[in-house]
Chain A
Amino acid sequence: MTDIATPEGRQGRIARFFDSDIVFSYRRSPIAILASIVALGLILAAVLAPWIAPYDPFNPRTLNLMDGFTKPMSSSFAGNYFLLGSDHQGRDVLSTILYGSRVSLLVGLSATLFAMTLGVGLGLVAGYRGGLLDTVIMRIADIQLSFPAILIALLIFGVARGLIPASQQENVVLWVLVLAIGLSNWAQFARTVRGATMVERQKDYVSAARIMGVPPFFILIKHILPNVIGPVLVIATIGLALAIIEEATLSYLGVGVPPTQPSLGTLIRIGQQFLFSGEWWILAFPAFTLILLALSVNLLGDWLRDALNPRLR
């Protein structure tokens, strides 16, 4: 979108963005401040995992099965100390959470970004151009929506598994997940954006811009996109949490990331087995982290939507 804007225009827009309302609104919202601190903290911790994690849970050489099921804040027989306890493989729960957040964030962010770009782009084009293109895009969206997201993900996952040689699968499984989850969520964006675009397109200012000879692409970006950004953000925030949870559900159905390189969802799926047996920490800490992450992202999204929507200012 910045290709179009002139340098002055871009600067002006960025300035407007950060100088005035949005920063003001941020300062006024304690929830937003708190949420952003938590989210940033979690993201930072995930990014820095290799340096701050007490153990490397992905390195089999350092694992000792006899460390398994150590209670939080205690040492195992082998003499290793675990702040949040250890899991059924003798891995440090704190470290797996740090590394797991990395995987979850990577998959969730990539998948949502992918779904959003694809969905918004197609939605704008479909809503603005109408006609055959609109019909084709929206029918594809219908087909996609007619399958539940989790089924689509299963389908793409299955097909990818069929196409990629078995020995290569473990290396690309993360990207297959991104593709699967992303492709299963784009239609929501497309449908919403397309509906809003269709209504917006009928409005006088758009007709005026068109008559003035403003190129369609510019109209879409400059005039229509800001008006649909609200719903898009609502979907994207829920979508991010959804993507992380969808990944966990795929794990639950047995097709997620391998348990040797777990995501938060995989950790929850594994911990869930120990709900009745008293090893609550294997489930509780990853679940708590996931809630914290999803909640703070969602709250930020909430605030951002209110702040960005010109009519709600």
Chain B
Amino acid sequence: MLAFILRRLGQSIVVMLVVAVVSFLMFRYVGDPIISMVGQEASIADQEALRDRLGLNDPFYVQFFRFITNALQGQFGISYRLQQPVTELILSRLPATIELALVSATMALAVGLVLGVFTALRPRSWSTGAIMSASLVGVSLPTFLIGIGLIYIFAVELKWLPSFGRGEVVNLGWWRTGFLTESGLRSIILPAITLSLFQMTLIMRLVRAEMLEVLRQDYIKFARARGLSKRAINFGHALKNTLVPVITITGLQLGSVIAFAIVTETVFQWPGVGSLFVNSVAVVDVPVMAAYLMFVAFIFVAINLIVDVLYYIVDPRLRVAGGR
């Protein structure tokens, strides 16, 4: 068990390193940070001088080594755009993104599970068909359009909910939460719905597919034959066995939720790390972009690690293969 975890940990570190290289490589192609840092009349010589001061003229490996050594100490430098320490910026934006991701993941999981089980238990009913079809409409539209549509209906026309931002926030230590004020809670509704639609559909379909699969298994038939109650079979056995892949995918999707938040946050002007990233891409704010990519990779690797370990615990059959 310990060996398994250690091995996966080692692999995770390799993953992080590769991500660092890749994200670093990427910056050479996304544009030139100098352009957005100097005024329109700065001479070529001035631009070169700044490039020098930023170390952008050093060979690639020198820049990379500097980046890694600093990153290991939690230092990602100063944002070119906002001129503040990047680590601080990301930490200050993190609560907004995490709260949004949690609310939308919870929504997606709750609705997805209920609808998934419901449609699996009534495979031939018309309501199943309706739910399955309706769920697809939500994933057939680009996120930005859904967001703008929701804003148009609920903020502009009905004036029920705010169109942008997080509302009033309360500081709990360094964590800035929007859960404790009415305007904060109202503000999270539209972005969370926008963000959750896609995952909701995915989870629902997954639950349904897995559930149908399990219900065909022999042990369910035996259970039925033994006269166990429908409820006990459906929820005690079928749902329980459905949960493993559902947990896996939901876990893996958490990273995607944070990533998907990029577009949602932009549309709703949600002050999270995603909108920070988008704003940084526009002006090639390399330190922020690098830190963001490392951060997303870290979350993902961590989730992967946890899911793998959970898998290992839940499904003993994998121990032979995985523990080797």
Task: Report A's interface with B, CB cutoff 8 A.
Answer: 31, 130-131, 135, 139, 142-143, 145-151, 154-155, 158-159, 161-163, 191, 195, 198-199, 202, 230-231, 234, 238, 241-242, 245, 248-249, 252-253, 265, 268-269, 272, 275-276, 287, 290-291, 293-295, 298-299, 302, 305, 311-312
Task: Report B's interface with A, CB cutoff 8 A.
Answer: 11, 14-15, 18-19, 22, 25-26, 28-30, 129, 132-133, 136-137, 139-145, 148, 152, 156, 201-202, 205-206, 209, 212-213, 216, 245, 248, 252, 255-256, 258-260, 262-263, 278, 281, 293, 296-297, 300-301, 304, 317-318, 321, 324
Q: Which of B141, B213, B260 contacts A311 (CB 8 A)?
A: B213
Q: Looking at A149, A241, A298, which has the most chain B CB atoms within 10 Å of its CB?
A: A298
State whether A155 and B136 are in contact (beta carbons under 8 Å apart), knowing that A148-B256, A249-B142 are contacts in the complex.
no
Contacts of B152 in A (CB 8 A): 275-276
B139 near A241: Cβ-Cβ < 8 Å: yes
Nearest CB of chain A from residue B90's CB, rounded to whole Å: 16
B18 near A238: Cβ-Cβ < 8 Å: no
Contacts of A298 in B (CB 8 A): 136, 139-140
Nearest CB of chain B from residue A147's CB, rounded to whole Å: 7
User: Per DSSP, are chain A's interface residues mostly helix, strand or loop, or mixed?
Assistant: helix
B142 near A234: Cβ-Cβ < 8 Å: no
A148 near B26: Cβ-Cβ < 8 Å: no
Contacts of A295 in B (CB 8 A): 133, 136-137, 140
B29 near A234: Cβ-Cβ < 8 Å: no
B142 near A148: Cβ-Cβ < 8 Å: no
B18 near A198: Cβ-Cβ < 8 Å: no
Given contacts A145-B255, A147-B293, A245-B143, 9 further A-B contacts (CB under 8 A): A139-B11, A139-B15, A143-B15, A145-B300, A151-B259, A158-B26, A287-B145, A295-B137, A298-B136
Nearest CB of chain A from residue B151's CB, rounded to whole Å: 10
Contacts of A245 in B (CB 8 A): 139-143
B317 near A234: Cβ-Cβ < 8 Å: no
Q: Which of A143, A272, A305 contacts B148 (CB 8 A)?
A: A272
